[in-house]
Amino acid sequence: MTPQKQPFFHGWVVVVACLIISTISFAIRLSFGVFFKSLESDFGWTRAQTSGIFSVYMLLCCITGVLAGLALDRYKPVAIFMVTGFVTGLSLLLTSQVTELWQLFVFYSLLLAAGTGATYPLMMALISRWFTEKRGLVLGIVSCGAGIGLLITGPVSEYLISSYGWQTSYFIMGLVALFIMIPCASLLKKPLSQGAPLPDGKRLDSTNPRATAGQHLNKPKGFSMLQLMETRNFWLLLFIFFLWGLCIFVILVHIVPHAIDLGISSSQAASILSVIGVISILGRLLMGKASDSMGTKQATILCALIQAAAMLSLVWASNLWALYIFAALFGFSWGGSSPVLAALVGDIAGLRHIGVIMGMVFVGFSVGSAIGPTLAGHLFDISGSYVLAFLGGMVVTFIVIVLTLLLRIPKTVEKVKLAGIEG
């Protein structure tokens, strides 16, 4: 008899759709560093004040991340991502029309947080449900959207701003968000419904002892939010994500103005972001795959060591090529940490309530991402240099290593990674 052909595994469609949404979302978020000088000049703000627009945005992402995580555990992802896609486009269209400073905080910081603030944790949670054995690799593929977004946002944003001004540039970006994110959202759905394939496309058969009557595939194992909060692991994860966000967004917001301060042209300064983006794609794929074999704790420590070296190199970088070397180190560590940290959360917490748990730990990341740029801007304002901020970033990554060593992955959750279903 000819073996029955297995239906196409929809998880790969979800991967492609999430990759596209991730690319657009991160291109928008990470473009702020390119818009920084224009906003600073037009509104006459200090570095700390201009950074505050982005910091408020990241703080508001804390709220949207948790709310969206709760929604993902209860509602269809297609509806959630369609709403966030629409709000993202609307935010940028309204931002292009601002004439007062307070309007930037409403239309950019508030609305954009509602649209893009939860995109990353939502996608990481959704993909974690679709894949188990290949989770690290697939999370790496999806997180490449951040690298691709950073790759394109540097030169594209610089071209748009120099050609049309920052307001028209935001209007164009808003239209792109509407016409790409919403159609991609229509392809998203949850796995593990009754009769659906297991993660990674596998199926049960009559010879499998788990294929018993009445057993459903919609109850993956894992901690509840309250159960996890009673453990040391949760608070360690929260602080690790906080410190990582603190360091990363000091660079993503301030590297372009720092390069311009060194006498580098605005177009060449924007190209540093592109180098970070390109190398981060390599880091996401290699470290995502490596985490499946070497373990997520070990991979996290490796990324932190590389990031510490990058921050130290930045203190001495005084020309474009030295900044490119920094960008390569930082890009690999930043890119590699993205799928590794997401997989680490799944290993520790399990999958049953992964949506809200991922949203909660990203509260730490968002708070750190909000504090880092403003703190770096303040240090620049009082010292005229970013040296203290960059050295602080190096110290932060060493603290991350210590906290990661203190994490303990529960044996019961390790079994979830192998089984993927309720036992």
Residue 252, C-beta contacts closer than 8 angstroms, at least 6 positions apart: 30, 32, 33, 150, 273, 276
Q: Which fold has domain 11-189+219-419?
A: Growth Hormone; Chain: A; (1.20.1250)
- Going by the DSSP 8-state scheme, the letter that residue 196 receives in this structure is S
Mean pLDDT, to the nearest integer, of 198-205? 51
pLDDT at 314: 92
The β-bridge partners of 350 are 222
The tokens for 131 are: 């894949």
CB neighbour burial string for 355-371, b if at least 16 within 10 angstroms, e if fewer? bbbbbbbbbbbbbbbbb
pLDDT band at 411 (very low <50, low <70, confident <90, very high): low
On the question of pLDDT at 5 being above 60, the answer is: no
The tokens for 321 are: 């090529």
pLDDT at 351: 65
Residue with tokens 């702020």: 32
pLDDT at 422: 25
Which of 6-10, 19-23, 161-165, 385-389 is the least confident region? 6-10
- Going by the DSSP 8-state scheme, the letter that residue 199 receives in this structure is G
On the question of pLDDT at 257 being above 90, the answer is: no
pLDDT at 96: 92
pLDDT band at 423 (very low <50, low <70, confident <90, very high): very low
From the list 113, 152, 110, the residue with the least C-alpha distance to 20 is 152
The β-bridge partners of 222 are 350
Mean pLDDT, to the nearest integer, of 341-349? 82
Mean pLDDT, to the nearest integer, of 15-40? 88
CA dist., res. 379 & res. 391, Å (int) = 12
What percentage of the chain carries pLDDT values higher than 90?
30
On the question of pLDDT at 190 being above 80, the answer is: no
pLDDT band at 192 (very low <50, low <70, confident <90, very high): low
pLDDT band at 363 (very low <50, low <70, confident <90, very high): confident
pLDDT band at 107 (very low <50, low <70, confident <90, very high): very high
Dihedral-angle region of residue 295 (phi above 0 means left; psi in -120 to 50 means alpha; beta otherwise): left
What percentage of the chain carries pLDDT values higher than 70?
85
Please say whether the beta carbons of 18 and 142 come within 8 A: yes
On the question of pLDDT at 52 being above 90, the answer is: no
Q: Following CA atoms 212, 217, 222, 226 in sequence, which dihedral angle do they give, to the nearest 10 degrees?
A: -110
Mean pLDDT, to the nearest integer, of 263-288? 87
pLDDT band at 199 (very low <50, low <70, confident <90, very high): low
On the question of pLDDT at 74 being above 60, the answer is: yes
pLDDT at 327: 95
pLDDT per position as a tens digit, 285-339: 888 778 878 888 899 999 999 999 999 999 888 899 999 999 999 999 988 888 8
From the list 270, 367, 377, the residue with the least C-alpha distance to 52 is 377
pLDDT band at 206 (very low <50, low <70, confident <90, very high): very low
On the question of pLDDT at 213 being above 80, the answer is: no
pLDDT at 194: 40
First to last CA, the chain: 32
CA dist., res. 228 & res. 234, Å (int) = 6
Mean pLDDT, to the nearest integer, of 146-156? 84
| Residue-averaged pLDDT of the chain | 81
**Ordered DSSP codes for 160-209:** HHHHH-HHHHHHHHHHHHHHHHHHHHTT---S--TTSPPGGG----TTST
On the question of pLDDT at 200 being above 70, the answer is: no
Q: Which of 125-134, 212-221, 238-247 has the highest mean pLDDT?
A: 238-247
Q: Measuring CA to CA, how many Å separate 67 from each of 6, 114, 204, 296, 368?
A: 36, 10, 34, 27, 19
- Please give the backbone phi and psi of residue 350, each rounded to the nearest 5 degrees, phi first: 80, -175
Question: Environment class of residue 293 by beta-carbon count within 10 Å: exposed (0-12), middle (13-18) or buried (19+)?
Answer: exposed
Angle at 386 between CA 381 and CA 389, to 5 degrees: 100
pLDDT top residue among 72 and 276 = 276
Mean pLDDT, to the nearest integer, of 270-282? 88
- Please give the backbone phi and psi of residue 272, each rounded to the nearest 5 degrees, phi first: -65, -40
pLDDT band at 420 (very low <50, low <70, confident <90, very high): very low
